[in-house]
Structure 1
Amino acid sequence: MATIFIDNQPYEVCSGQSLLQQCLTLGMDIPYFCWHPALGAVGACRQCAVKEFRDEKDTQGRVVMSCMTPIKDGMRISVNDPQVREFRAHVIEWLMENHPHDCPICDEGGECHLQDMTVMSGHTYRRYRFKKRTFRNQDLGPCINHEMNRCITCYRCIRFYQDYAGGHDLRAFASKDHVYFGRHTDGTLESEFSGNLVEICPTGVFTDKTLKKHYTRKWDLQTSPSVCVHCGLGCNIIVGERYGKVRRILNRYNGQVNGYFLCDRGRFGYEFVNGDKRLRQPSLGAYERSALATKPQTLAAMADLVRNDRRLIGIGSPRASLEANFALKTLVGADRFYLGTSDTDTHLVATILDILQRSPAKIASLYDVERADAVFILGEDVSNTAPRLALALRQALRTAFGGLLETLHIAPWLDRAVRQASALEAASPIYIATPNATRLDDIARGLFRAAPDDIARLGFAVAHELSTQAPAVTDLTDEMGSRAAAIAAALRQASHPLIISGIGCASPAVIHAAANVVAALCEIGKDAQLCLTVAEVNSLGLAMIGGHRLSEAFAVVHEDGAPTVIVLEN
């Protein structure tokens, strides 16, 4: 902790952070654009100016950018000094020179960071009377709308897209005072995290094109906190609805899970909720001759089924809620409830559940993943199975280079300096063993392409290299043996090694190999962490509820002469 003086008032703050972040934490009204809590600072917008004084006798001071100024014990600053207030007012006026001022028709209206900061800075009168700089907008695909004339050149978009998410097709093109953020040609953005541009952009340059199709003003939306249903990570979201239709999905901050960002599947994959083929009212009777029914009629019919049909069975679903699965199991009875997953997936998820319950290692959250300093991925294409996990892995680079930053005396929130220093190092200690190429290959130090059985053998070999208590692997090739030794050495040197696997290879051996590696790390005293991915939002929950295999349900149908079957959201 440190004590700083803001306008002659003492405040206790956390050292090791930027002055802007601490001032915002204290509730100070300092305008800013380029700074973002997940992206750090680059000092591009010059909007967050404050005045810093040498000591209590200094009356002149100097203007500094608070986002680029580290906290020092005893430092004295002023947020409301007339000179810095005037400076901030001039900066916002420069930034707004070429802005179209189209707030009444802008999709960002009502949630615009630019509006808030402009009002905060007192810039309410437009003096610019000349022809404005204009740009041609691009077609960036079905999800993102592009309006470059609203840009204030804060660089948040490419800092997220390139540096944070590892994208390559969105860039900054500049000539003199013309800076253009876009692709080299029209086309759909390639990154699976492109939708975050909508929330990252402080103006209306990048907006949600899916919302534009059925537009409503933001203040007319009914919103509710929820959890994403598109993979097993459980990212937190905010669902916006109007007139009985979902209009958009926003990220809901959860520091242990998704933080500030979502994948595009979670952000734009909601239209199925509004689908024409979705069942919206119960009906009774044969499928082709069914008639719409009221809720009391439906409940009465279901009660008759349960009361009179002793052969009734239920089939659950990993996509349904835990409450719905539990209710169906209670309704039909535990001995008549069947898991709605293939036998292969059922066995794989049961294996994962058993390992997670018995493993000595910590089960890693996405927050933990970002702080891992060595990673071994066994058999899992993370970008497809759990995209937000892949984004977290890209942030593990900073942890891996932490020693270098400390040597160079670079604060971790100085984003551009951190990125440049990281480029001096070799690839991060991330090792990926998968059957095919993945979208994380560009940050990996070592890649291994093989069939699932060979991937499992590599994992078992790494475990044995770490601890002789782990079973040895015979008939290893020299190449695989040296590869296993290199991976084991990187994991052994790490303070927080992370092992990732899952059901992607449909191989229990690969999952057991990951469990052996993490157990070996724990045995040698490492603070190891384990992350095992599953296919659906409630795959693990359904396995914990328990039930019979799906193949047994088919056998019951054939043997019992077609009993009544209740299928739950499957």
Structure 2
Amino acid sequence: MPKLTINDKEIDVENGLTVLQACEQAGFEIPYFCYHPRLSIAGNCRMCLVEMEKSPKPIASCAMPVAEGMVIRTNTPLVEKARKGVLELLLINHPLDCPICDQGGECDLQDLTVSYGPSTSRFDLNKRAVSNKYMGPLIKTIMTRCIHCTRCVRFATEIAGTPEMGGIHRGEHTEITSYLEGALSSELSGNLIDVCPVGALTNKPYTFHGRPWELTKTNSIDVMDAVGSNIRIDTRGQQVMRVLPRLNEEINEEWISDKTRFSYDGLARQRLDKAYIRKEGKLTAVPLTEAINTVAHVLKATPANEIAALSGDLADCESVTVLKELMLALGSPHLDCRVDETVHDASNRSTYIFNSTIAGIEESDFILIIASNVRHEAPLINARIRKRYLQGGLNVAAVGQAYDLTYPYTHVSEQAPVIKEILEDAHPICAQLKAARKPMIIIGQGALNRRDSREILRLCQEIAEKYNMIQDDWNGFNVLHTAAGRVGALDLGFVPQDKGLNVHEILVACQRGQIKTILLNNVDNIPGGSFGEACVIYIGHHGDEGAHRADIILPGLAYTEKFATYVNTEGRPQQTEKAVANPGEAQEDWWLLNEVAVKLGFNFKFETRQDIIQKMIEINPIFAKLNQVSAAPWTKIISKYPETLSHISFKSPIVNFYMTDPISRHSSIMAACMAEIVGSGCSKKCA
């Protein structure tokens, strides 16, 4: 470990660090614009200049590796003069529009100019103006403000994997642009707003809507997919103004997907803020107490074996727990959370979670993807795979349709029989699998909702064991979920009980009139006609597919309006925080179900949310460890299933990345992305 002296303080640092990183470790602040810890080094802003002993001029600390015996000074008159000169040059052409700039209050250029800049400028010529570039419905550009740090170019090329941005011309005529001035096709493009240190790239839907000091900031969890990205919800009054990423190295690092960031406007549209009962064929608003009493009356009048319950993609763990207790109290075994008809076994946790964890991707040297368009199903996991690819030494192979995943991979086949070939060592990729030190397999939901899914799952487990994916300190068997509410419901055992029907059998029974009443907990992806003549009781927060078919609607809360637990695809329980008040008469989903139980005479002793959490811990101890992944013991599927592997091509369940749930389907911003990005054909979003 090299030893160097910084401002008369000796410090030992790791090999490979830069002087800038060493200074930060020693506790000395170095200002910079172009440097970003997750991007390659550009060294073009020169703001990070420091003085090095025996060097004839200041050095760029972001680009200088540490070496034994270095003597660095960060606060000499020469360094101060250099910084003032750099800022004076940067501000030559920067417009004086801070009062109307959306970056105001969060601008690195503002902050560093106050701290390190000159008090006056010696330049009095007219400022240069640059025409704004078009980058789609999400990113607003004011390119006269651009300081050419190239962070956006490096992010698009390295992290997003869509090299659609770059610099044109030279010298003072340099401009940053998307080459064809079309909408950016990356699912991570909104992160350009965060990496831009000035107001050149800003949030287009948020333009002129607010200032950071006006907003209340709430730390929460994203539910747009099953990754569980950590986010910050900024609100003003009762309105969600924007959603930003929150640092979590183990899950999303500091990025979020565009759907997470921009679908928030769907929270206010088509909301269910009242209870409804269908009277004479029309849904009629009624007091909440009347709707709850009616639900209790219907359930009481229906034989237990003719009642079923389904839990959907956005259902939180608390509501799933109460609904399960209610169904057991009623005596009905017909409950299921696998509304996409997947074959997950709730008794074998290792077969339905991402066992290696998301951060574990960076340890793998071979990844076999089965039936998953990871880029659309989990953009942050895809970015993590790309990050590992850029580090070198990673081979990727994919079974399923050929998608642009932003990194090179071997396309094995579109059909399931090749899985058996891989198991039998009869495919060319087997040699790479054998040579891998920490191989992993990622199984998408597109492989688990077919007739032959049980056999596919068993064969994938066999592959995992044969090719050394299961080790003492490594479990490379991973299932990638797409729904935020799925893993938590499986952990709570919300699956058919003894002699109970699964989701497919429940829907068939509804059509045949054998199921008379069905409760839908945030179920919005099943066509309304699937329920036949059954009485549909819907709990949810949007007037989506489930509400359209419902006979009774109990208004629930969206993830921004409640404290709730969700378990992400790697099995990590996390909690959302309440950012805004309940709209209208809407209440927590668990509270609504518990009130129904009380009306029926059941006393679950669920007076507070903490009581439900205690019950969740009783059902599954993993809920006692918030924000932690509890490793699942490896349990092998022994039973062989008679189904022969189908030659039908695998398909990803995500047909349209921008609209996958009630919130994003009601977002005008997501609709604009649909029209301009998917509709224009500049990205194969619907492939």
TM-score (norm 1): 0.81
- Counterpart Cα distance in 2 of 1:64 and 1:554: 69
CA contact (8 A) 2:17 2:65 kept: yes
- Say which of 490, 513, 520 aligns to 1:543: 490
* Aligned match of 2:388: 396
* Aligned match of 2:96: 101
- Greater relative CO, 1 or 2 (CA 8 Å, sep 6+): 2
- Counterpart Cα distance in 1 of 2:421 and 2:122: 68
Instruction: Give CA-to-partner distance per residue, 1:157-176, whole Å, 9 cap, x none.
Output: 01010122211322221233
Distance 1:366 1:555, change over 3 A: closer
The SS at the match of 1:177 is helix
CA contact (8 A) 1:370 1:394 kept: no
1:516 Cα deviation from its structure 2 partner = 2.4
- Counterpart Cα distance in 2 of 1:39 and 1:120: 25
Instruction: Report the structure, 1 or 2, having the larger helix content.
Output: 1
1:366 Cα deviation from its structure 2 partner = 2.5
CA contact (8 A) 1:4 1:10 kept: yes
The SS at the match of 1:541 is helix
- Say which of 412, 415, 418 aligns to 1:448: 412
CA contact (8 A) 1:240 1:247 kept: yes
* Aligned match of 2:445: 503
CA contact (8 A) 1:459 1:514 kept: no
* Aligned match of 2:360: 368
1:139 Cα deviation from its structure 2 partner = 2.2
User: Tell me, which stretches of 5 or more residues in structure 2 are unaligned?
Assistant: 497-501, 524-687
Output aligned runs, 1:88-487, within 5 Å. 88-212=83-207, 215-275=209-269, 277-284=270-277, 286=279, 292-294=285-287, 311=304, 313-333=308-328, 335-336=332-333, 338-342=335-339, 344-345=341-342, 347=343, 349-350=344-345, 354=348, 356=350, 363-401=355-393, 429-434=395-400, 436-440=401-405, 442-444=407-409, 446-451=410-415, 453-461=416-424, 465=425, 481=426, 484-485=427-428, 487=429
- Counterpart Cα distance in 2 of 1:69 and 1:105: 37
The SS at the match of 1:489 is helix
- Counterpart Cα distance in 2 of 1:441 and 1:65: 32
- Counterpart Cα distance in 1 of 2:37 and 2:67: 20
Distance 1:61 1:528, change over 3 A: farther
CA contact (8 A) 1:137 1:148 kept: yes
The SS at the match of 2:232 is strand
- Counterpart Cα distance in 2 of 1:519 and 1:377: 16
- Counterpart Cα distance in 2 of 1:441 and 1:514: 25
The SS at the match of 2:359 is helix
The SS at the match of 1:318 is coil
* Aligned match of 2:599: none
CA contact (8 A) 1:492 1:521 kept: yes
CA contact (8 A) 1:31 1:47 kept: yes
- Counterpart Cα distance in 2 of 1:328 and 1:287: 28
CA contact (8 A) 1:459 1:510 kept: no
Distance 1:233 1:459, change over 3 A: farther
Instruction: Give CA-to-partner distance per residue, 1:505-530, whole Å, 9 cap, x none.
Output: 34524443432222223379695623
CA contact (8 A) 1:372 1:400 kept: no
- What residue identity is the alignment partner of 2:375? S
- Counterpart Cα distance in 2 of 1:440 and 1:205: 28
- Counterpart Cα distance in 2 of 1:175 and 1:290: 64
User: Tell me, which stretches of 5 or more residues in structure 1 are unaligned?
Assistant: 55-59, 402-427, 466-480
- Counterpart Cα distance in 1 of 2:102 and 2:363: 36
- What residue identity is the alignment partner of 2:228? G
The SS at the match of 1:270 is helix
CA contact (8 A) 1:226 1:237 kept: yes
Distance 1:399 1:186, change over 3 A: closer
Output aligned runs, 1:47-86, within 5 Å. 47-53=47-53, 62-86=57-81
Please say which of residues 503-512 and 533-542 is displaced more in the overlay: 503-512
The SS at the match of 1:24 is helix
CA contact (8 A) 1:501 1:510 kept: no
Distance 1:99 1:63, change over 3 A: same
- What residue identity is the alignment partner of 2:315? A
- What residue identity is the alignment partner of 1:383? R
Instruction: Give CA-to-partner distance per residue, 1:364-407, whole Å, 9 cap, x none.
Output: 22222134222222222211221211111111123325xxxxxx
- Counterpart Cα distance in 2 of 1:266 and 1:30: 32
- Counterpart Cα distance in 2 of 1:510 and 1:396: 27
- What residue identity is the alignment partner of 2:398? I
TM-score (norm 2): 0.68
Q: Percent identity?
A: 27
Instruction: Give CA-to-partner distance per residue, 1:323-345, whole Å, 9 cap, x none.
Output: 11112222232735522544632
Instruction: Give CA-to-partner distance per residue, 1:433-480, whole Å, 9 cap, x none.
Output: 22x221127522x222332x233224323xxx4xxxxxxxxxxxxxxx
- Counterpart Cα distance in 2 of 1:160 and 1:265: 18
Please say which of residues 4-13 and 234-243 is displaced more in the overlay: 4-13
CA contact (8 A) 2:94 2:146 kept: yes
- Counterpart Cα distance in 2 of 1:80 and 1:523: 52
Instruction: Give CA-to-partner distance per residue, 1:259-305, whole Å, 9 cap, x none.
Output: 02122222222232121x12022345638665545555555555555
The SS at the match of 1:501 is strand
- What residue identity is the alignment partner of 1:397? Y
1:106 Cα deviation from its structure 2 partner = 0.7
The SS at the match of 1:457 is helix
The SS at the match of 1:269 is helix
